[in-house]
Homo-oligomer: A and B are copies of this chain.
């Protein structure tokens, strides 16, 4: 499997962020072709030192890296990417793409 992990830094207004994320972004992102599983963090995101600075972690699973590339290139992927700029503009997100295996 391959995974897209998105870290959303703590927004100015968490309630506004959450409303947009859960009501608009998730339905948009769930339309992305090739998406096998979509998970989000619940409650706070911690770190061993305490506050992590991250508000929400999204984990999207695909069959492989080629499927992620195809997802980004699709109309649905472009719509979801454009939406991120609405509720998390600028450098308020970090995205990581990788093949994943159990050890």
Copies, count? 2
List the B residue with the shortest CB-CB distance to A68. B46
Residues 23-48 (chain A) with a chain B CB within 8 angstroms: 26, 30, 37-48
Known pairs A48-B72, A72-B48, A94-B47; A5 contacts B99 (CB<8 A): no
A88 at interface (Cβ–Cβ under 8 A)?
Answer: no
Please indicate the chain B residues that have their CB under 8 angstroms from the CB of A26 in the complex: 103
Q: How far is the CB of A31 from chain B (nearest CB, A)?
A: 13
Known pairs A5-B5, A5-B57, A57-B5; A45 contacts B97 (CB<8 A): yes
**Chain A residues within CB distance 8 Å of chain B:** 3, 5, 7, 26, 30, 37-48, 52, 54, 57, 59, 65, 72, 81, 94-103
